[in-house]
Structure 1
Amino acid sequence: MLSNLLTILNKSVGYSMDSKVTMQDIADMLDITKVSVSKAINNQPGISDNLREQILTTAKKMGYHKTNNREKSTSYNFAWICPKRFFLEDETFYTTIYYYINKRLMEKGHTISCFVINDKEESENKLPLQFSQESFDGIFIAGEFERSYLKKLEMIDCAKIAIDFYLPDMNIDSIVTDNFYTGFEATNYLIRKGHMKIGFVGNINNTSSICDRYFGYLKALMLNDLPVRNDWRIVNNDPVTGAYTLDFSLPKELPTSFVCHCDKAAFILMQKLHIEGYKVPEDVSVISFDNTSICELTIPKLTSIDINRKQIALQSIDQMLRRLEHTDSSPRKIYLGGHLVERDSITSPRKEQLIP
């Protein structure tokens, strides 16, 4: 009699006595992530006491039995979220990273949804509707959002990986290029070519990667006793929309070379120089970062620091899966290097250009 009653009760919640209740079953029942269930069952930090009690009570009612071996998930459900200003049709850095992440996750049997956030949604701190309707095991945050938006993302109860940025007050893993060192190396390359008057293109208040590249540039100048001039620092894009523009002024006295924070910024600078009657590299040499397809389209072809987007993608996946396995370990900041791809946009300055 009691056995029959238990069978009826278990069927009423969708489980039979013969079925094995999993963490995912509990997560689905409570409309939360599997990571939260794992934290509760394994007595790990990261969830509230009320939620922990609710999970444990539900697990007991559903007949969940913890095993010695960690329960293996056949697949995870991930989200990719990126500001629209970084996910542009003519800017392939983040789109390439997403391509490799999506490809590898599909090969591993996981799923990923892509969300591109426009300026209005970001300024209003508006998360995608799916974030409240669907449970994600992890979120790849690609590109640096406004602080308030990042804080809202940080509150979501799942694993997170920051791609191409970091913030000291964010308690999440980061996969970043060593932008300080690559900025230092790019500037030193120009110095070895004989340049003593070197400018910088990029808004250092826009992202941590631009800021780090600028300070690497600054270190190279200071160590070589070269001038640091504010009029040689140019911004040629909108900080909110990310749109690049020719509506900026060149300094009255041009440096002999520029370090540009990315290939698109360099492309726009080269257009402006051409309009104003200057030749690259005869009058002004240009170097940039990312080594995107733009480098082969400029005239002359653009010298750039290659950032291995496939490596960023694979490291992001590896760290995400590691985070899901070790939810209570300290956040990691993983730095990746870059290498110079020489093309035709740099030459040594003429003798008359070296006169102070």
Structure 2
Amino acid sequence: MKKRITMQDIADRLNISKNSVSQALRGKEGVSKETRELVKRVAKEMGYEYPASRAKSRGKPPRQIALIASDRTFSLKFFGEIYLSIEQEALSHGMKLHIQSVNKEQKERLLLPSFIEEKQVDGVIVLSHISTEYIQQIVATGIPTVLVDHHHPNIPADAVLTNNRFGAYVAVQHLLELNHTDIAFVGDVNYSPSYQERYEGYLLALKDYGVKPNEEWMFCQAQEDETVIAGYIRELKRQPTAWFCVNDGLGFFVSTGLQQYGLKVPDDVSVCSFDNGQLSQIATPKITTVDIDLKRYGKRAVELLRWRWDNPNEPFQEVLLSTKLIKRESTAAKPTR
């Protein structure tokens, strides 16, 4: 039987990395024009067939991928935009997308969708957090898996993530440069690694500016509930001059809670949040927030899954997407008291 030529064979012939061969054959940036042309010529000479060409020539069906998430995740507009970008990117590559939500019972009983259990898909994209045990069950099937907006030390899989620490750092830095040193934190750090990382970014910014965090103003198990947030504000003995919130929902509740308490935003107190979702835009005043490129999430997730198909033995990757601070009316210089 004739040996099938692989990307590694081409890499060995040219004494370059397999990744460079993959980039050249796909027309991706990262290799020079000369290298790209050389790789294509040698690939042709060696009789290499690109996977898509082999599938077409053999009449194979298109790649099938699964997109799964908790039912709560699918209900959130933030993740809905990521889902749409994943769908669009998958379709642009001729893939068939299977979508399945995971309810509480399925999560607790570790019941996988049948198309994953029976290995009817070529790859899985997991949107946000379900549970570590559930995602481990998916990975254990051996199907290439990419996590989106979630990761964990005990989950051996590729992931596409927001650079939460740096995003939070820049947000808190913005408050510090407005001369705020009394800055509260609100968010449930146990809910997801993203919130824990945003908390770490908050602490790092304070440290770099020589500001000691005040535990009285650190609400690290905060529920995203209007009544709960209003209670935090009322019970404080001394009010901070600024708040950093791990998401826009909390930012919205903090802003309205402060105003109901009799404080003006931003004249008396500034509010900054994260995600640049709808609530930050409809709030009065509009809330300064950290923007995430949601469309980029979907594109990179599908790209990473395709890369994994061609590089099954490479180390797992965590792709960090940068953020951007959107300055709005909810933040201003520290008031003089």
- Report the TM-score when normalising by structure 2: 0.77
Contact conserved, 2:186 with 2:222, CA < 8 A, in 1? no
Residue matched to 2:198: 213
Aligned counterparts of 1:137 and 1:152: Cα–Cα separation in 2: 16
Amino acid at match of 1:246: T
Where structure 1 has 5 or more consecutive residues not aligned to the other structure, the ranges are: 1-66
Greater C-alpha Rg: 1
Residue matched to 1:347: 332
- CA-CA distance at 1:172 after TM superposition: 0.9
Match of residue 298, structure 1, among 267, 273, 283 = 283
- CA-CA distance at 1:71 after TM superposition: 4.3
**Count of residues in correspondence between the two structures:** 280
Structure 1 position 92 matched with structure 2 position 72:
no
Structure 1 position 247 matched with structure 2 position 247:
no
Aligned counterparts of 2:72 and 2:256: Cα–Cα separation in 1: 21
Where structure 2 has 5 or more consecutive residues not aligned to the other structure, the ranges are: 1-46, 56-60
Segment drifting more, 119-128 vs 335-344: 119-128
Amino acid at match of 1:76: R
- CA-CA distance at 1:168 after TM superposition: 2.1
Residue matched to 2:94: 109
Aligned counterparts of 1:176 and 1:182: Cα–Cα separation in 2: 12
Residue matched to 2:41: none
Task: Give the 3 Å change call, closer, same or farther, for CA 274–192 of structure 1 in structure 2.
Answer: same
Aligned counterparts of 1:244 and 1:102: Cα–Cα separation in 2: 32
Contact conserved, 1:202 with 1:261, CA < 8 A, in 2? yes
Aligned counterparts of 2:160 and 2:48: Cα–Cα separation in 1: 32
Contact conserved, 1:173 with 1:333, CA < 8 A, in 2? yes
Structure 1 position 309 matched with structure 2 position 289:
no
- CA-CA distance at 1:70 after TM superposition: 5.2
Overall identity of the aligned pairs, in %: 24
Structure 1 position 258 matched with structure 2 position 213:
no
After superposition, the C-alpha distances for 1:58-97 in whole angstroms (9 at most, x for unaligned) are xxxxxxxxx9535434521111111233333xx4221101
Contact conserved, 1:280 with 1:300, CA < 8 A, in 2? yes
Match of residue 182, structure 1, among 167, 187, 192 = 167
Amino acid at match of 1:104: E
Aligned counterparts of 1:298 and 1:191: Cα–Cα separation in 2: 23
Residue matched to 1:45: none
Amino acid at match of 1:87: F
Residue matched to 1:20: none
Contact conserved, 1:236 with 1:247, CA < 8 A, in 2? no
Aligned counterparts of 1:129 and 1:135: Cα–Cα separation in 2: 8
- CA-CA distance at 1:132 after TM superposition: 3.0
Residue matched to 2:49: 69
Residue matched to 1:158: 143
Aligned counterparts of 1:224 and 1:93: Cα–Cα separation in 2: 32
Please, what is the CA RMSD of the aligned residues? 2.0
Amino acid at match of 2:116: F
After superposition, the C-alpha distances for 1:6-50 in whole angstroms (9 at most, x for unaligned) are xxxxxxxxxxxxxxxxxxxxxxxxxxxxxxxxxxxxxxxxxxxxx
- Report the TM-score when normalising by structure 1: 0.73
- CA-CA distance at 1:179 after TM superposition: 1.0
